[in-house]
């Protein structure tokens, strides 16, 4: 099965991914997919920088606690 995808950015910053399957698409769907201009983002990549990782380590929120205290100090 062949699968292609194009990623575009909405005005509010959310991403939208069009998936295309040449073997099952109608001619209209194929034409529409081919006309879509991707937002200049590498396939499979992300269009936004990775945000800092939250200190969420599972059910026991020990690290969450320290993060929370840090925020309070700020």
Positions in the binding site for another protein (CB under 8 A): 1, 3, 5, 10, 12, 14-21, 23-26, 28-29, 32-33, 36, 44, 46, 48, 50-51, 53-61, 64-65, 67-68, 71-72
- Please state the closest distance from residue 54 (CB atom) to another protein, in A: 5
Identity of the residue, 40 or 51, whose beta carbon is nearer to another protein in the bound complex:
51
* Angstrom distance (rounded) from CA 1 to CA 24: 10
Answer yes or no: are the C-beta atoms of 48 and 12 closer than 8 Å: no
Q: Could you give phi then psi for residue 46, rounded to 5 degrees?
A: -115, 150
């Amino acid at each position: 099965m062949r699968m292609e995808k194009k990623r575009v950015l909405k005005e509010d910053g959310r991403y939208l991914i069009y998936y295309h399957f040449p073997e099952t698409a109608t001619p209209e769907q194929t034409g529409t997919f081919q006309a879509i201009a991707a937002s200049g983002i590498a396939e499979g990549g992300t269009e936004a920088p990775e945000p800092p990782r939250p200190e969420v380590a599972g059910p026991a929120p020990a690290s969450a606690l320290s993060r929370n205290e840090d925020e309070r100090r700020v």
